[in-house]
Structure 1
Amino acid sequence: MVSEKRPTAGIDELLERVRRGYERVEAREAYGAARSGEALLVDIRYAALRDRDGLIPGALVIERNELEWRLDPRGSHRVPEATGHDLRVVVICNEGYASSLAAASLHQLGLHRATDLVGGFQAWRAAGLPVVS
């Protein structure tokens, strides 16, 4: 017996759908928000990319597979910066794709101000914003 299933959304459709759920930020806006203490930048790039391209000063580095556990304000494995559900988190991946899915996941945990950086780390660097080795 073969069951008919509806086709599922591909990754492009999924990205489009999750991105409609929040307002993404550009690099300079994220930089200003972090400098003024209004946002927590969270770098989810894997270690090889961080080693190759450098780090954003002041950004919290959390591996993608640990993100929800570290930022859930009610979680037993949260980082000290995970102070509450009103925390504005800007998730940064390499090019702005994985970070969109990560931000949507944080929304499901009640972090309603979570967003991601359009273009990711590469956009940050292209904007001439600070990077350290």
Structure 2
Amino acid sequence: MKTAHDLVVEARTRIREVPIADAETAIRESDVLIDVREGDEYHAAHVPGAVNIPRGVLEFKLSGMPEFDSRDLAIVLYCKTGGRAALAAAALREMGYLQVRSIEGGFDAWCAAGLPQTTPSLPDFS
């Protein structure tokens, strides 16, 4: 029986991971940056410019959004440490997306490298 770790290791053999040193360039060259973490993780802090589509609904959301019809879109994905993004990248490759990459080490590596992060501004009701 395979474990989640086994599935991530297997997915990583089928995808392209971007080293954290090249992440900003990959993002600039992409059409979309997707944060596949859960909403609460995204709202705590995220990479500037990222849109949040949690891993659990990614395939369904992309299938229902006309802006994702082109399989030539350059897509960069990330999660907390890279596992969910690797699984998401493998799934998108299976859906026919040709230019999918995930950020190696995820948001944890991004933060450890001192790269910029943002939090959504929420209204002040005080």
Is the aligned partner of 1:41 residue 2:44? no
**Distance across 1 between alignment mates of 2:80 and 2:48:** 16
Partner SS for 2:49: coil
Is the contact between residue 44 and residue 61 of structure 1 (CA under 8 Å) also seen in structure 2?
Answer: yes
- 1:43-89: per-residue Cα shift (whole Å, max 9, x none)? 0111222233x121111211222211233xxx3x2163x25112121
Percentage of pairs with the same residue: 32
The answer for the alignment partner of 1:127 in structure 2 is 113
The answer for the alignment partner of 2:48 in structure 1 is 57
Q: Which has the higher contact order (CA 8 A, sep 6+)?
A: 2
> Which range moves more in the overlay, 24-33 or 123-132?
24-33
**Distance across 1 between alignment mates of 2:15 and 2:87:** 11
Structure 1 stretches lacking a partner, 5+ long: 1-7
Structure 2 stretches lacking a partner, 5+ long: 120-126
TM-score by length of 1: 0.78
**Distance across 2 between alignment mates of 1:94 and 1:48:** 12
Is the aligned partner of 1:69 residue 2:60? yes
Q: Which has the higher strand share?
A: 2
Kindly provide the amino acid, as one letter, of the partner of residue 106 in structure 2: G
Equivalent residue in structure 2 for 1:24, among 17, 22, 33: 17
**Distance across 2 between alignment mates of 1:113 and 1:63:** 19
The answer for the alignment partner of 2:123 in structure 1 is none
**Distance across 1 between alignment mates of 2:73 and 2:88:** 15
The structure with the larger Rg is: 1
Kindly provide the amino acid, as one letter, of the partner of residue 99 in structure 1: A
**Distance across 2 between alignment mates of 1:66 and 1:13:** 22
Equivalent residue in structure 1 for 2:65, among 78, 82, 85: 78
Partner SS for 1:114: strand
> Cα–Cα, structure 1 residues 70 and 30, in superposed 2: closer, same or farther, change >3 Å?
farther
Is the contact between residue 43 and residue 61 of structure 1 (CA under 8 Å) also seen in structure 2?
Answer: yes
1:39: Cα distance to partner?
Answer: 4.5
Is the contact between residue 40 and residue 88 of structure 1 (CA under 8 Å) also seen in structure 2?
Answer: yes
